[in-house]
Amino acid sequence: MFAHRGSSKAAPENTLAAFEQAVKAGADGVELDVQLTRDGRVVVIHDETLDRTTNFSGWVKDHDWETLRRLDAGSWWNPRFSTERIPLLEDVLDMLSDTDMIINIELKNSWVRYTGLEAAVLACIDRFRMADRVIVSSFNHHSLRMLHGMRPELSLAALYESGLYEPWVYARHVGVHAIHPDWRAIDEKVVKGCQSVGIAVRPYTVDDTEMMKQLIEWGVDGIITNLPERCRQVLDGRRMKS
Residue 108 has pLDDT above 60, yes or no: yes
Structural contact between residues 221 and 178, judged by C-beta atoms closer than 8 angstroms: yes
At 72, phi and psi to the nearest 5?
A: -80, 115
Structural contact between residues 16 and 87, judged by C-beta atoms closer than 8 angstroms: yes
For residue 215, the surrounding DSSP H or E stretch is helix 209-218
Residue 29's nearest CA partner among 57, 1, 63 is 1
Active-site residue, from 46, 63, 141, 180: 46
Strands (E), the chain: 2-4, 29-36, 42-44, 102-107, 134-138, 155-160, 178-181, 200-201, 224-225
156: three-class secondary structure by DSSP: strand
Instruction: Note the pLDDT tens digit of each residue in 132-155.
Output: 999 999 999 999 999 999 999 999
Instruction: Note the pLDDT tens digit of each residue in 57-106.
Output: 999 999 999 999 999 999 999 999 999 999 999 999 999 999 999 999 99
Residue 4 appears among annotated catalytic residues: yes
Residue 180 appears among annotated catalytic residues: no
Active-site residue, from 4, 63, 141, 180: 4
Residue 238 has pLDDT above 70, yes or no: no
Domains in the chain: ranges and CATH? 2-241 (3.20.20.190)
- Expressed in angstroms, the distance from the first to the final Cα of the chain is 19
C-alpha 190/C-alpha 201 separation (Å) is 9
Q: Over the chain, what is the mean pLDDT? A: 96
